[in-house]
Amino acid sequence: MSEQIQGNKMGTMPIGKLIATMSWPAILSMLIQALYNIVDSIFVSMISEQALSAVTYIFPVQMLLIAVGVGTGVGINSLISRRLGAKRFEEANMAASCGYRLSFFNWIGFALIGIIFSNIYMNFLSDTPYIVENGIDYMRIITIGSIFVLVQVTTEKILQATGNMLFPMLCSIVGAATNIVLDPILIFGIGPFPQMGVTGAAVATIIGQLFSMILGQILLFRKDHQVVVKVRGFKMEKNVIRDIYSVGLPAILMQAMLSILQFGLNAILAGLSETAVAVNGVYGRLQSFIFMPVFGLNQGALPVMGYNYGARDKERLTKAFKVAFLIAFVIMTVGLILFQLFPRQFLSLFNASEGMYQIGIPALRTISLCFIPASFGILASSFFQATGHGVMSLWASLIRQMIGILPLAWLLARLGGLGMVWYAFPIAEVMGIVFSIIAMRHIFKKDIARLDANESPASST
């Protein structure tokens, strides 16, 4: 696809059609990822409730890993799309090349974390030998093998910034499908393969990420795209790295809040009931089937908003946000209805004990009250990132999680016990909505209202 055709697509195609075209591959790939998360946990739960708890304890580490990969990718995506919108193509190439190289540096950090801190981490959270042993093995495999997912996430973000949403979808499908097929084979020892238990789930995850990365590199380097990625023969530019992380670092910190949130929640819940830890893990998997499509929608909407912000088209920018929010609102409303009506059926997928039903049914119904307000918070964060206001995304996340969920969960646990903890989720989302509305009004008055064909927005440079 030529630059002119691609530019016309991002700048002239009707917004509703454009977002649908850009988003459906990401939504499908995210749904497949969510399906993988659920299937993976179902297989682990077949081993034992303790096995599910062990994997749940490592979930914050995986979320931190994804936070760094996706956050860096968001910065790369935002910078590339703004440069393409402004017709600064060489700078877009440099952003893609520097961003690609950064994924390898990020991997080194996580490999060291897995080697050095796995034992300390698990012994801090649990004193159950089975959980500690399996958690250590799972964490080391996931972190040392993280090079595959970090490189692939960067590859997907580069492609998405140019408007190519199909290739990232194909990579996600291949990785998730490989993982789903390998899970029962390696966990239970089917055919010539040994029974590996929880370790088998980790190995299946890494192999799936490897296959996804291999396909991603083939599509990135053997196909023509609007940006050209160099691996060698260039020098990393400080200003490009700064521009990537001006949006990417707040995005990393914002998503890292989810890791801190899960770590803190697991610590709070472990003091009340290890079954509650398992319930929290089950909720994390189940809610991904609702949230992942919205995140996929985000992936399609962000480059559209970023491109039109760089092109100084205020009308298309604001319309893109409104259309994306309406779609997210519908998805989240459907999710809320499902969680209210079928919590027992959802829990039964994970070989739930009677104790898990007693804790989990009211938990799912209570937490899901956060879905509808979260639809606005997620799209508001995407709007902040697309327009170069990454710090606003960070503050929104801080209010919803560090200043919201965790302190509320700690306080409610002491005031009303386990049953009250889950109300921290919807209360925190309402707090986030208030901040996001105030922040968006400020950005519109100070920045978006000034967009025209003659004046460059300060944050797009």
- Report the range of poorest mean pLDDT among 55-69, 160-174, 289-303, 349-363: 160-174
Between 4 and 372, name the one with better pLDDT. Answer: 372
Nearest-CA neighbor of 203 among 5, 430, 90, 43?
43
What tokens were used for 229? 């990625």
**Which tens digits make up the pLDDT trace of 377-406?**
989 988 888 887 878 877 887 887 778 888
Concatenating the DSSP letter of every residue in 28-79 gives HHHHHHHHHHHHHHHHHHHH-HHHHHHHHHHHHHHHHHHHHHHHHHHHHHHH
CB 79 within 8 A of CB 460: no
Amino acid letter, 226? Q
Distance CA 449, CA 425 (A): 34
State which of 240-244, 248-252, 422-426 shows the largest mean pLDDT: 422-426
User: How does DSSP classify residue 402?
Assistant: I
* Helix H or strand E segment including 412: helix 406-416
Least confident stretch, 121-130, 229-238, 273-282, 351-360: 229-238
Phi, psi (5° rounding) for residue 48?
A: 180, 165
Higher pLDDT, 104 or 10: 104
Least confident of 4-8, 181-185, 210-214, 323-327: 4-8
Rg for the chain (alpha carbons), in Å? 22
Q: What is the mean pLDDT of residues 337-357?
A: 91
Q: What share of the chain is helix, strand, coil (3-state, %, to 5)?
A: 85, 0, 15
What pLDDT was estimated at residue 452? 60
Nearest to 20 by CA among 251, 304, 261: 304
pLDDT at 152: 93
Mean pLDDT of 83-87: 78
Q: What is the pLDDT of residue 132?
A: 93
Q: Residues 6 or more apart from 285 whose CB is under 8 A from it?
A: 34, 37, 38, 40, 41
pLDDT of residue 214 exceeding 90, the answer is yes
* Banded model confidence at residue 215, pLDDT cuts 50, 70, 90: very high
The pLDDT-based confidence of 361 (bands split at 50, 70, 90) is very high
- Do 273 and 418 form a contact (C-beta atoms < 8 A)? yes
- Residue whose C-alpha is closest to residue 422's, from 303, 265, 273, 293: 265
Percent of the chain with pLDDT strictly greater than 70:
95
Q: In whole angstroms, give the CA distance from residue 243 to residue 238.
A: 9
Please check whether residue 163 is in contact with residue 6, taking contact to mean a CB–CB distance below 8 angstroms: yes
Q: 3-class secondary structure for 108-163? A: HHHHHHHHHHHHHHHHHHCCCHHHHHHHHHHHHHHHHCCHHHHHHHHHHHHHHHCC
Asked if 226 contacts 8 with a C-beta cutoff of 8 angstroms, the reply is: no
Q: Which helix (H) or strand (E) holds 201?
A: helix 198-221
What is residue 8's predicted lDDT score, i.e. its pLDDT? Answer: 52
Residue 6 CB coordination number (10 Å): 17
Tell me whether residue 322 is exposed, middle or buried, using C-beta atoms within 10 angstroms of its C-beta: 0 to 12, 13 to 18, 19 or more.
exposed
Q: What percent of the chain has pLDDT over 90?
A: 35
At residue 454, does pLDDT exceed 60? Answer: no
Q: pLDDT by residue (tens digit) across 114-171?
A: 999 999 999 988 888 999 999 999 999 999 999 999 999 999 888 888 777 788 888 8
Whether 56 shows a pLDDT value over 60: the answer reads: yes
Q: Tell me the whole-structure pTM to 2 decimals.
A: 0.70
Q: How far is CA 128 from CA 42, 51, 122, 278, 355, in A?
A: 21, 11, 10, 14, 19
Mean pLDDT (the chain) is 86
73 has pLDDT over 50: yes
User: Token pair of 336, please?
Assistant: 């809320």
Please tell me the predicted confidence (pLDDT) of residue 453: 45
For residue 82, the model assigns a pLDDT of 81
Residue 6 has pLDDT above 70, yes or no: no
CA dist., res. 46 & res. 263, Å (int): 24
User: Hey, what are 57's tokens?
Assistant: 């304890």
Cα distance between residue 146 and residue 65, in whole Å: 8
